[in-house]
Structure 1
Amino acid sequence: MRVLVVGSTGVVGRRLVPLLEAVGHEVTCPAHPPARAVTEAAPEAVVNLLTATERDFPAQAAHTLYQAAQRVGASRVLTQSLAYAYQPGTGLADEDAPLWTHRTPRRFAPVLHALLELERLTDEAGGLVLRYGHLYGPGSAYAPDGSFAARVRARKVPLVGGGHSTLSFTHADDAATAVVAALDKDVTGVLNVVDDTPVTMHEFLPAYAALLDAPVPRRVPAALARLTTGSWGAAFMNGLRGADNSRARRRLDWRPRHPSWRAGIQGTSLRAGQWEA
């Protein structure tokens, strides 16, 4: 299959392109503008790995991209989104749960608006949205040289309040295999592509710091955090809802190679500044 991948240099794209080629797909990775590349490459599938939060890829660009894909007869349009943008609630969120549109933290509101628009455009194009959890793996914020790891080492990520957020992680390799699985299946709508083992922030942050050989995270009351970091900082620590991957497992016949973040992260590799592939 001829596959055009937009965002091939990102965390997922770097893992996806070699995998697509290994299983026999013909891959095109365009520079901007991607819509022109669609006309030239005439792909059978378009994979958009740039989220709507990318400043250089607004919703209008996505609309133009999907229109170009339809003109050349592309049969599949796949787009990535977020599986941690669900309205806070109890239990794991499936794809029918509402996104965080009620009392949205101010800092997160523009991101959510952009994601909603991107998902709407994908739906209009008859495509499939893959909602990823907290992405980790080479090149990610959680990698040894990543931005989140650096902040944890510097003790700049305190455990706010009770750390009640539930985190669903997605290894970049598992995100990539989900794309490959979705290419040849007539599945549309939205799917959560996350691991099997959600973890609370209260459990994750100290354990992650230990794997980094970093200092124990400070503890900060939620009220104080709201004053210093705003509503999003407190919400990130206490309001996020984990996601259920049952539908993706069933409809894509997909299974995460890394069923939990612990299975995907090797402590010795983190201390050495290397990531185990």
Structure 2
Amino acid sequence: MRVLIAGATGVIGDRMVPLLTAVGHEVLGLARPGSDTTALEAAGARVVAADALDRGRSRRAIRQAAPDVVVNMLTAIPAEIDPRHLARDFAVTNRLRAEGTRNLIEAAPDARIISQGLAYGYQPGDGPADEDAPLWRTGTPKQFAPVLDALKELERLTTRSGGLVLRLGHLYGPGSIYAADGSFVRQVRAGKVPLVGGGNAVFSFTHADDVATAVAAALDKPDVTGVLNIVDDEPVPLRRWLPALAALLGAPAPKKAPAALARPAVGGWGVAFMNRLRGAANTRARLRLDWRPRYASVTEGFAAELSGGPAQAA
């Protein structure tokens, strides 16, 4: 199968390209002209040079490539994000998710599309959210609203075309902010990540390898459409996993900060991020894709990624 990956040079693409080539797919990697594609080509992909936001050029390049499937992993997320200015930091990613997705579908109207969504945009509530739970619609933090609007447009375009949206949790693994050299881990090591307002947000994590295996599974099941949560098995509150991560790193225990005092520093989105997020359930993906996460919990994943040994959440 000829599979075009948009976002092939990103964190997920680095794990996906070698896997898909290894299982026998012909992989094409969409990359902006001038990008460093050495690793992409070394992994066995053929480069398709075009900017997904350049409608004319991307249409010509993708139509010439004639993919059977387009895997849309387009993002432009900075290595460090200021929660007070999330909308600004995600402006290009928002365009890629809305405008870029539209361009990909127009360029390959006969191809199946598999797109990257988010599993932490659910309306806050009790228990892990399944795919039928509503996305955040009331009390949405101002900085998160344009991010959510772009995700909704991505999902609308993808599902309308008969495609599949993989809603990912908080991405970790090599190249991510949670890698040993990632920005979040550096901040935790320095004792600069406090527990704001109790740390009541519930996180579902997704290892980059799990995105790759979920896509591989989806390629073998062309009748699977709609949306699926691609997350680990055990959603965990921030107040548990953050202290456990600090202990694993030998870093200072996170300090506690009342939400009212922290709001000027982290903004409304920062407070919500640490207190209102809802975890997600992966039951439907397990059944429909016959897929399993590499690590059942982020506790296991962090231990393996950051120390090579077992660890338990506090």
TM-score scaled by length of structure 1? 0.92
Moved over 4 A (4+): none
* Aligned twin of 2:4: 4
Conserved? CA contact 2:217–2:289, under 8 Å:
yes
Structure 1: 5+ residue stretches without partners: 273-277
TM-score scaled by length of structure 2? 0.82
Conserved? CA contact 1:38–1:68, under 8 Å:
yes
Aligned-pair CA distance for 1:35:
3.2
Secondary structure of 2:181 counterpart: coil
Q: Distance in 1 between matches of 2:100 and 2:195?
A: 38
Conserved? CA contact 1:51–1:115, under 8 Å:
no
Conserved? CA contact 1:144–1:212, under 8 Å:
no
Matched, 1:122 2:158: yes
* Aligned twin of 2:292: 255
Q: Distance in 1 between matches of 2:274 and 2:108?
A: 39
Matched, 1:47 2:71: yes
Q: Distance in 1 between matches of 2:67 and 2:266?
A: 45
* Aligned twin of 1:30: 30
The one-letter code of the counterpart of 2:61 is: A
- Are residues 66 and 209 of structure 1, via their aligned partners in 2, closer, same or farther at CA, if it must alter by over 3 Å? same
1:162-191 deviation line (CA, Å, top 9, x unaligned): 211111011111111000000121111100
Query: 117-126 vs 86-95, which deviates more?
Result: 117-126
Secondary structure of 1:191 counterpart: strand
Matched, 1:57 2:96: yes
Query: Between the two proteins, what is the percent identity of the paired residues?
Result: 63
* Aligned twin of 1:20: 20
Aligned-pair CA distance for 1:37:
2.9
Secondary structure of 2:4 counterpart: strand
Aligned-pair CA distance for 1:216:
1.1
Matched, 1:191 2:218: no
The alignment's C-alpha RMSD in Å is 1.7
Conserved? CA contact 1:144–1:271, under 8 Å:
no
Structure 2: 5+ residue stretches without partners: 32-49, 52-57, 77-89, 309-314
1:142-170 deviation line (CA, Å, top 9, x unaligned): 00111111111222210012211111011
Conserved? CA contact 1:83–1:131, under 8 Å:
yes
Q: Distance in 1 between matches of 2:97 and 2:105?
A: 13
Matched, 1:89 2:125: yes
Q: Distance in 1 between matches of 2:61 and 2:184?
A: 34
Conserved? CA contact 2:241–2:299, under 8 Å:
no
Q: Distance in 1 between matches of 2:140 and 2:114?
A: 27
1:62-116 deviation line (CA, Å, top 9, x unaligned): 212112211xx32x21000110111100011000111112111111111111111
Aligned residues between the structures: 268
Conserved? CA contact 1:91–1:242, under 8 Å:
yes
Aligned-pair CA distance for 1:58:
5.4
The one-letter code of the counterpart of 1:81 is: G
Q: Please, which of 189, 197, 215 is the counterpart of residue 153 of structure 1?
A: 189
Q: Distance in 2 between matches of 1:55 and 1:238?
A: 24
Conserved? CA contact 2:94–2:147, under 8 Å:
no
Q: Distance in 2 between matches of 1:144 and 1:8?
A: 22
* Aligned twin of 1:275: none
Matched, 1:228 2:265: yes
* Aligned twin of 1:212: 249
Aligned-pair CA distance for 1:226:
2.1
The one-letter code of the counterpart of 1:262 is: T
* Aligned twin of 1:67: 106
Higher relative contact order (CA 8 A, sep 6+): 1
Secondary structure of 1:243 counterpart: coil
Conserved? CA contact 2:245–2:302, under 8 Å:
no
Secondary structure of 2:227 counterpart: strand
Aligned-pair CA distance for 1:266:
2.7
